[in-house]
Amino acid sequence: MLNKKESKKILTHCSFFSKNRRGQTSEAMTWIVATLIIIVLLGISIYAASLLSKLKIIDYKTEERSQDVVMEESLFSYFSIKESVVQEKVFESLKKMNQEEKFYEDFDSKFTQIKFNLEKYGK
């Protein structure tokens, strides 16, 4: 049987146990510092985003839109349909949406404007 001194000597010379503790410690400290830096940067970016979101307030109800994309696309679809039955259904749907105030612009004026432009420049 080995005494304490010999067993300690064997354990320190064995490569299985850590004989390079300084390297492991410095590597662990590097990762800890890097993790802390990442957490601080994330915290700063979240705080900055919250400040920016408070500064920019958009009120969509009072903001006037110069173009109503949904209405224009719907009217172009209406004029591109060749079948009169389907065209009537689409027009009824558009009129209903206009009555429910789904559009921002005047429906009748936009209808005549698109119709005029399509007739003038061809379909």
Percent of the chain with pLDDT over 70: 72
* Token duo for residue 3: 């005494």
**Identity of the highest mean pLDDT range in 18-22, 54-58, 89-93, 105-109:** 89-93
What integer pLDDT is reported at residue 117 of this predicted model? 82
Does residue 19 surpass a pLDDT of 80? Answer: no
What integer pLDDT is reported at residue 31 of this predicted model? 93
Domains in the chain: boundaries: 21-53, 69-121
**Identity of the highest mean pLDDT range in 47-51, 53-57, 77-81, 114-118:** 47-51
Residue 58's φ and ψ, nearest 5 degrees, are -115, 125
Does residue 34 surpass a pLDDT of 90? Answer: yes
**Helical residues (DSSP H) of the chain, grouped into ranges:** 4-13, 21-55, 69-80, 84-99, 107-121
* Token duo for residue 53: 């979101």
In this prediction, residue 67 has a pLDDT band, given cuts at 50, 70 and 90, of low
Does residue 44 surpass a pLDDT of 90? Answer: yes
Q: 23-27, 28-32, 50-54, 102-106: which has the minimum mean pLDDT?
A: 102-106
The C-alpha atoms of residue 91 and residue 32 are separated, in whole angstroms, by 66
